[in-house]
């Protein structure tokens, strides 16, 4: 009885003392995953590519400058002396430049580039939040699997003691063979559960290693006593309101709508004129020509305006405008859907955490009640008013409650991170609050 009462403290002390030197906190493993995780690295590369793509869109507003070089050689021979010129050639160099003065489509394209950069930032933020949740999920899965294995081993020890007691009582004639067989059956069942728990822990560790890149990741357990933080704020409305501004999904949908609106402006600009400032400077050096025997050089500078007015393009511009307007409406509908989905996801996550906190309190009470019930059942067994199967069932109930309580605590911590992911406020600093609950 005393052993079972001290089990939570014993497991915590054992876990703390058994922590290897390389035991990592949640923040440590997140930093490892940030440098290793392939999906996150892919999102980061896409972010950098989209930034460069956004900068490309500004090219339509900037001047273009080109340099052209040319050289030619001509040989003229004739059977008439006066036309026999021999060889002559020319070399030329031209610098040309053009600066857009009025190009509405280029202005819209440049604005789209800015939106693309903001969209890339929102996509990277979503990838970062997803990485935080995936690492936390793997982290708590390992802790839950480790706790489950510890509880199964503790139950195995308790069942072994009960089996030995049943055998002694049978030998002295104070119990029937039924007690021994029931205890043996329970011992065999717990052994099978131990094998399954060991395999589950092994798989969970492999999943954590895969996302973090660590060879043998060793997460720190929760410090005892466990005090879970409350939800702040404790009402769902502020979380939903915050999601409309912070959620990467809403941001991406909103930016996609703005890009679609600019695409409509580009299509409408097909009807508008364009005006460019042009200039060139040419130098030509001639070593004679067909009609002139001497060498000469010419310099030519040109400055001008290039004006273009579309008159008719086979209704291509009109139909392009219709297409972009329809796509703009689609983007607006997508924004509405994203806003509603994020709001619904935030509400579900909030109530999930709230329910989880209630379950933790209920399971803590159930754990105390199960311990008291086990103590009473053991006492009843000793005085002969309870049978062995009653003790075994009470032990099973207690350890099952302990495992559910540990899992519920991890679910609440993970649920808090998922709530922040749902409304878009999740960031790396939020892991520090979880780190504060870990064993030091």
Q: What is the pLDDT of residues 91-137, one digit of tens each?
A: 999 999 999 999 999 999 999 999 999 999 999 999 999 999 999 99
Q: What are phi and psi of 96, to 5 degrees?
A: -125, 150
For residue 137, being part of any structural domain is answered with yes
**Domain co-membership, 265 together with 279:** no
Residue 92 sits in the same domain as residue 108:
no
Q: Give the whole-number percent of the chain exceeding pLDDT 70.
A: 90
Q: How far is Cα 15 from Cα 438, in angstroms, rounded to an integer? A: 11
What 3-state DSSP class applies to 307?
strand
- For the chain, what is the domain count? 2
What confidence tens digit (pLDDT) does each residue in 304-325 have?
A: 999 999 999 899 999 999 999 9
- Placement of tokens 């509400």 in the chain: 347
Same domain? For 93 and 184 the reply is: no
| 3-class secondary structure, 290 | coil
Tell me the DSSP string of 70-100.
Answer: EEEEEEE--SSGGG--EEEEEEEEEEEEEEE
Is 393 buried (19+), middle (13-18) or exposed (0-12) by CB count in 10 A?
middle
Listed residues 262, 285, 309: the one ending a domain: 309
Cβ count near 273 (within 10 Å): 12
Q: Which of 156, 139, 195 lies closest to 7, judged by CA?
A: 156
Question: Residue 64: which H helix or E strand, with range?
Answer: strand 64-76
Asked if residue 334 belongs to a domain, the reply is yes
pLDDT recorded at residue 177: 87
226 and 284 assigned to the same domain: no
Are residue 115 and residue 156 in the same domain, yes or no?
yes
One domain for residues 146 and 248: yes
CATH classification of the domain holding 287: 2.20.200
Q: Which domain holds residue 281?
A: 61-102+273-309
**Residue 166 and residue 263 in one domain:** yes
CA–CA distances in Å: residue 382 to residues 102, 190, 373, 379, 397: 98, 23, 14, 5, 20
Mean pLDDT in residue range 422-430: 94
Shared-domain flag, residues 158 and 188 = yes
Q: Is residue 148 part of a domain?
A: yes
Same domain, 248 and 200: yes
């Amino acid at each position: 009885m005393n052993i079972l009462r001290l089990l939570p403290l014993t497991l915590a002390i054992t876990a703390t003392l058994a922590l290897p030197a390389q035991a990592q906190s949640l923040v440590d493993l997140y930093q490892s995953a940030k440098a290793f995780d392939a999906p996150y690295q892919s999102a980061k590369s896409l972010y950098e590519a989209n930034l460069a793509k956004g900068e490309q869109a500004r090219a339509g507003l900037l001047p273009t400058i080109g340099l052209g070089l040319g050289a030619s050689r001509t040989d003229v021979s004739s059977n008439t002396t006066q036309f026999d010129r021999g060889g002559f050639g020319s070399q030329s160099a031209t610098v040309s430049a053009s600066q857009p003065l009025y190009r509405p489509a280029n202005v819209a394209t440049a604005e789209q580039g800015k939106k693309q950069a903001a969209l890339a930032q929102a996509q990277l933020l979503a990838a970062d939040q997803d990485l935080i949740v995936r690492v936390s999920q793997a982290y708590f899965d390992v802790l839950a699997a480790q706790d489950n294995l510890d509880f199964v081993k503790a139950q195995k020890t308790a069942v072994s003691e009960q089996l030995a007691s049943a055998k002694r009582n049978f030998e002295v004639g104070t119990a029937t063979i039924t007690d021994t067989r029931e205890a043996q059956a329970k011992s065999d069942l717990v052994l099978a559960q131990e094998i399954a728990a060991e395999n589950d822990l092994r798989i969970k560790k492999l999943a954590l290693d895969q996302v973090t890149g660590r060879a043998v990741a060793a997460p720190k357990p929760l410090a005892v006593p466990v005090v879970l933080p409350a939800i702040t704020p404790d009402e769902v409305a502020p979380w939903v309101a915050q999601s409309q501004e912070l959620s990467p999904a809403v941001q991406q949908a909103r930016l996609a709508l703005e890009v679609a609106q600019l695409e409509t402006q580009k299509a409408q600009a097909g009807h508008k004129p364009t005006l460019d400032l042009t200039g060139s400077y040419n130098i030509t050096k001639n070593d004679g020509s067909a009609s002139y025997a001497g060498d000469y050089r010419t310099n030519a500078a040109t400055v001008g305006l290039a004006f273009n007015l579309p008159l008719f393009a086979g209704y291509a511009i009109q139909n392009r405008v219709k297409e972009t307007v329809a796509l703009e409406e689609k983007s607006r509908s997508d924004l509405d859907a994203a806003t509603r989905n994020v709001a619904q996801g935030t509400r579900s996550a909030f109530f999930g955490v709230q329910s989880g906190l209630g379950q933790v309190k209920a399971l803590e009470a159930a754990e105390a009640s199960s311990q008291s019930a086990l103590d009473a059942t053991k006492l009843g067994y000793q005085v002969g008013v309870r049978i062995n199967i009653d003790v075994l069932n009470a032990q099973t109930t207690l350890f099952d409650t302990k495992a559910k309580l540990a899992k519920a605590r991890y679910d609440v911590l993970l649920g808090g991170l998922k709530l922040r992911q749902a409304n878009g406020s999740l960031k790396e600093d939020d892991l520090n609050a979880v780190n504060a609950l870990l064993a030091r």
